[in-house]
C-alpha cells in the first residue's frame, strides 16, 4: 500500500483526506483533526498532495513540504 497522491479538504477543525496508489485505487479515506495532521503526514512517505488554496492552505503547504511532500494548491 504505497500512497502516491493525496487530496485534502481543509476545514476549521476536521480535515478529510483521500489517498490513492499508482494505479488510481483508493487506499485511504480518513478524517483527521487539526492536532493529528502534522503527525500523520510526518509518518507518511513523501507523496503528491493537492488542496484548495484558502486561508490556511499556505500554512499547511509549508508544513507538509517540510516533511518532504510535494504540495500543489488549486484555485477555488
Task: Give the side-chain half-sphere CA count within 13 A for 42.
Answer: 6
- The reported pTM is 0.91
Could you report the per-residue pLDDT of 21-37, keeping only the tens digit for each? 999 999 999 999 999 99
pLDDT over threshold 90, residue 40: yes
| Residue 9 pLDDT greater than 80, yes or no | yes
Domain ranges of the chain: 1-49+69-73
Altogether, the residues listed in the chain come to a count of 76
Amino acid at each position: 500500500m504505497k500512497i502516491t497522491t493525496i487530496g485534502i479538504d481543509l476545514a476549521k477543525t476536521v480535515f478529510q483526506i483521500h489517498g490513492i496508489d499508482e494505479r488510481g485505487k483508493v487506499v485511504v479515506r480518513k478524517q483527521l483533526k487539526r492536532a493529528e495532521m502534522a503527525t500523520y503526514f510526518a509518518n507518511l512517505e513523501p507523496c503528491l498532495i493537492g488542496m484548495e488554496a484558502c486561508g490556511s492552505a499556505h500554512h499547511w503547504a509549508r508544513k507538509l513540504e517540510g516533511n518532504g511532500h510535494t504540495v500543489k494548491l488549486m484555485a477555488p
